[in-house]
Structure 1
């Protein structure tokens, strides 16, 4: 039973479900966090690294060209943590071809991108709170394998976390029973909307844990919880856009990620979890900063190479398109630039001759092209991710 995994202090928050099993009801935030020298040092490093990234983001001449690629990478990796196998290239080609029917893993990742866009839309009418997260969940899971989880609706039954085939008795974690869910969500929403005395990054770490501990949906909780991190970094002004691919760090250390979250519930180890979160922010901010600088240099190089007395004035615009979406078809270029099929073909072939794009071979399908070097930089030198 779950109670047996908890120390004496945390066992006080374990309740018995109507079916006779243990479940954990996380106490409201804020938690008792001790800011010792080590934690303060990690916080300072995370703040400094994130501040540098934010400064670069605000100084970029066209920041959306970079953030669009990062949103897609975050979508791929956050979904991969939950078992999908789609790559960034798969996603880009899926978006270009707009298939009507379901396409498994790739559509799940595409939904993640759409959910991110919804949350960060400056014109959105839904305020920060539980309803907003329900809407993100609806977008995320509509039309994919998780749609059995009733997209956009909080659960009305008991869920649990464990290995495949485990029942609730063997579960590693059992969230609050449905009859306690409303009180947990109300407390979470109040915390989300009220000013905090904690440093912003520490507050985001606490809110991410609290959401995962409540586990309010039947499926998709991990992805919505990581979307919450992206949302709060932008909503609270820590970043000018979705520039931090938090899931890249989590995907590399997923067992530690789960263990740190669980240790908060079982042993009240907030220091371990917050330290992990701050390390993730610092590491990814530095990594994204390197990639942002590399992408800016690559963009300058490409624009210089396609600019000349006899060059098409459309080529620099095509280069910028590739930094937003590093894949294209003749049709996508036609639509984006308002040009003929022949003009699109001629300009793409010029990009091929300059080594900016390569054509993918796919018998029986429309011609497709990718900017492999851009993909490599976005993926941290590994274009296979």
Structure 2
């Protein structure tokens, strides 16, 4: 029988509310590795290995990283209620169109910056409280919540609950600031501990503990999900940030929150870890399938261009290659890539549209923007 206080306990504060004070990791009693847990762990490990192998074999792995990072950023932000879509973000980055929701798009663009910043910093700094603060600062720079001390651990009590609820009505109250700092120090020690433990189990425990501590006034969910990607890369489980587990968390959003809360209320670490491992497995499978789809799509489109466009196919292929990093673009972009005059670049774009590879997305006669529609479609539902 697992004790409810295994993950920590609710302590009544002087002001009358009860806050949760987490126990240090790893859990005591230790994680029960039953057959189901071993199977899920093995399945998730194998799927990550396949994903790493599939991308290793690619002629240009960065091409995939570009879109995966953006997809993860969009999905992780959507879990927090942001409405910006992948298309919104790509339009914003291409400067082809003004977004309807600039504030929300900037939140997602910050997430992309935070992933890239974190990966670069890992070359010189291990995952630590310092790195977590730096990543949070990137995430919150100049967007909603920017007034709430980006890059600084909170110095006041926060809580989780329905919009506008009071502390007394909260669903969950994390540790108060003094206890929070102790919990964060314990988490950092756990991350740097050399005690043998399967990496995915360690990453799953660390994510849940981070969300339980909730150390910032805003942006905790996104920072905690970023931590998953960075830990997987730091531990060499993945060479590149090619796992968007936020797809799984968003799809099973209620269960995601319920599993995290059950850890606090009932010490149900095993249920959370099984949910997490299943998510890693599904996300890795999805990413491998998408990588393979894009390899065949690239070859199929190359052959189509060669057969349909004759001697103009060199410029057409050069333009298409550039669109893997900029799938929404204007004719000006085509002129830059191909060195063609504007009228000739315009004709090239028109010809590629006629064979179904490009699509005009503004419906205007002037200042038109185009998308590499079949490529974007691969990412729309995954």
Question: What TM-score, normalized to structure 2?
Answer: 0.91
Aligned length: 376
CA distance in 2, matches of 1:244, 1:82: 19
Query: How much does 1:346 deviate?
Result: 3.9
CA distance in 2, matches of 1:361, 1:111: 26
Alignment-derived partner of residue 232 in structure 2: 233
Secondary structure at 1:314 match in 2: helix
Q: Specify whether residues 16 and 339 from structure 1 end up closer, same or farther in structure 2 by C-alpha distance, changes over 3 A only.
A: farther
Alignment-derived partner of residue 43 in structure 1: 41
Please show how residues 291-306 of structure 1 align to structure 2 within 5 Å: 291-306=290-305
Query: How much does 1:199 deviate?
Result: 0.6
CA contact (8 A) 1:196 1:203 kept: no
CA distance in 2, matches of 1:196, 1:341: 62
CA distance in 2, matches of 1:62, 1:322: 13
CA distance in 1, matches of 2:292, 2:169: 48
Secondary structure at 2:370 match in 1: strand
Alignment-derived partner of residue 119 in structure 1: 118
Cα deviation digits, residues 84-130 of structure 1 (max 9, x gap): 11111111001111879981211111111111111122785444211
CA RMSD of the aligned region, Å?
2.4
Matched, 1:367 2:371: no
Cα deviation digits, residues 34-85 of structure 1 (max 9, x gap): 0011111111111111111111011111111112111111111110000011
CA contact (8 A) 2:75 2:246 kept: yes
Alignment-derived partner of residue 3 in structure 1: none
Q: Please identify, of 346-355 and 202-211, the stretch whose mean Cα deviation from structure 2 is larger.
A: 346-355
Alignment-derived partner of residue 207 in structure 2: 208
Secondary structure at 2:351 match in 1: helix
Alignment-derived partner of residue 154 in structure 2: 155
Q: Please identify, of 187-196 and 132-141, the stretch whose mean Cα deviation from structure 2 is larger.
A: 187-196
Alignment-derived partner of residue 182 in structure 2: 183
Question: What TM-score, normalized to structure 1?
Answer: 0.91
CA distance in 2, matches of 1:364, 1:192: 56
Gaps of 5+ in 1: 1-5
Cα deviation digits, residues 180-219 of structure 1 (max 9, x gap): 2221111111222233411111111001011101101001
Q: Specify whether residues 379 and 12 from structure 1 end up closer, same or farther in structure 2 by C-alpha distance, changes over 3 A only.
A: closer
Gaps of 5+ in 2: none
Cα deviation digits, residues 240-268 of structure 1 (max 9, x gap): 21111100001110000000011111110
Q: Specify whether residues 371 and 275 from structure 1 end up closer, same or farther in structure 2 by C-alpha distance, changes over 3 A only.
A: same
Alignment-derived partner of residue 21 in structure 2: 25
CA distance in 1, matches of 2:297, 2:33: 42
CA distance in 2, matches of 1:303, 1:210: 48
Q: Specify whether residues 11 and 225 from structure 1 end up closer, same or farther in structure 2 by C-alpha distance, changes over 3 A only.
A: closer
